[in-house]
Chains A and B, each alone.
Chain A
């Protein structure tokens, strides 16, 4: 074991102090500063990520609410459209019914008119046929006006009896 040598001790101490000064300036300071900066950055990023998560949840909730609202509106509009459609259908049915009724009425009137016409025509024809027949039967020519009156009265009697019967 060597004896203590103050020159060596002093040299070693100075060596260490020089090393310390170099390392403090060129290694410890930049590395510790960088480690702190990174730690702060990670903290900040984590905080931002947490805030982002909260914001995302809030947006999701908002979108869900908005979607639900849109669905409600759509549903109510569809309901309204259905109701209006039903109403229009009822109106169309009613119009159709009215048109059909009017058409029916018109047809009835036409039929009645035609019937009346036919009756008159038939009556005229029957009268003529009857006169012809009577003329042939009696072989005599009666007064036209008197014949006509006679036949009308006969036909009126017949009608009355028919209406009664």
Chain B
């Protein structure tokens, strides 16, 4: 009895891994990944150059899809904003207002200027994270290229904000720890190196954190789907998978939101740290 169960589980895992591998990239990659419609297309038309191109740029395609959805929703509900909002506009306003309050809570009244950047960043990352939960889609944020790109944008935006708000001289002084006395000036070169290093580490940590978290979520879903398929094949007469991933979906939903929030909030903090101190105190 026990050996039967053990065999069934072993078979299920094997089936799951095979199913995930077959449906995914299938290049002998040990990490299971859920299939999306582009991988399916490229599997079907593996000789066609367009299928190859789509497969190569799938993250960008899914990012564009998310951007298109965002633009459509934004255009639909903010084209003619009504004073008494409808259901869709109300939901969008709730999000916009919440993000505005979040940014202003960190930066202060000056934060309103940065709300569009941070808000767009949050919505974009959030939807990209959630895309992994939709069958046939993929989270572009589970790819390091996407998160590195976003982190570089944040890095450039923060540095540009610093130079614009502080002026070039004060910007360098800020990076050198704003020395005011002899000790400060002596330590300035060291502080400069540390601060510059810190500024580069910030986007690195942002991109790696987001990418690996979302990647782990996708792997978790893929493993559970594979297990479900394996278990379904092993115990059922009907060859369908058991929906094991349903239990993990709420968790993925929460993690996706939290990761988007962490990325946006840290970006806000980096902007706040770069602003002149009298403005955000």
> What is the interface of chain A, defined by CB distance below 8 A to chain B?
1-2, 4-5, 8-13, 15-20, 22-24, 26-32, 34-35, 37-38, 41
Q: Are A8 and B59 in contact (CB under 8 A)?
A: yes
Q: Are A19 and B145 in contact (CB under 8 A)?
A: no
B90 to chain A, nearest CB (A): 11
Q: Are A13 and B152 in contact (CB under 8 A)?
A: yes
Residues of A within 8 A of B70 (CB): 19, 23
Main secondary structure of the interface of A (DSSP, over half): helix
Chain B residue at minimum C-beta to C-beta distance from A8 = B145
Q: Are B97 and A28 in contact (CB under 8 A)?
A: no
Chain A residue at minimum C-beta to C-beta distance from B148 = A9
Q: Are B153 and A16 in contact (CB under 8 A)?
A: yes
B13 to chain A, nearest CB (A): 22
A2-B115 contact in complex given A13-B152, A24-B120, C-beta closer than 8 Å: no
A32-B144 contact in complex given A13-B152, A15-B63, A16-B150, C-beta closer than 8 Å: no
Chain A residue at minimum C-beta to C-beta distance from B145 = A8
A9-B145 contact in complex given A19-B67, A20-B116, A23-B116, C-beta closer than 8 Å: yes
Residues of B within 8 A of A4 (CB): 144-145, 148
Residue B215 interfacial (CB < 8 Å): yes
Q: Are A5 and B145 in contact (CB under 8 A)?
A: yes
A32-B96 contact in complex given A2-B145, A13-B149, A15-B64, C-beta closer than 8 Å: yes
Residues 55-66 of chain B, each 1 if its beta carbon lies under 8 Å from chain A, else 0 = 001011001100
Residue B37 interfacial (CB < 8 Å): no
Residue B78 interfacial (CB < 8 Å): yes
A113 to chain B, nearest CB (A): 106
Tell which of A10, A23, A35, A37 has the most Cβ of chain B within 10 Å.
A23
Residues of B within 8 A of A37 (CB): 83
* Extra inter-chain contacts (18) besides given A4-B145, A16-B121, CB under 8 Å: A2-B144, A8-B59, A11-B149, A12-B60, A12-B149, A15-B60, A19-B67, A19-B120, A20-B117, A22-B71, A23-B119, A27-B75, A27-B78, A29-B116, A30-B78, A31-B92, A31-B96, A41-B83
A32-B60 contact in complex given A23-B120, A41-B83, C-beta closer than 8 Å: no
Residues of B within 8 A of A11 (CB): 57, 60, 149
A34-B153 contact in complex given A4-B148, A23-B120, C-beta closer than 8 Å: no
Residue B74 interfacial (CB < 8 Å): yes
Q: Are B115 and A32 in contact (CB under 8 A)?
A: yes
**A-B pairs with lowest CB-CB distance, top 4:** A12-B149, A27-B74, A28-B116, A8-B145
Residues of A within 8 A of B71 (CB): 19, 22-23, 26
Residues 63-94 of chain B, each 1 if its beta carbon lies under 8 Å from chain A, else 0 = 11001001100110011010100000000110
Residue B146 interfacial (CB < 8 Å): yes
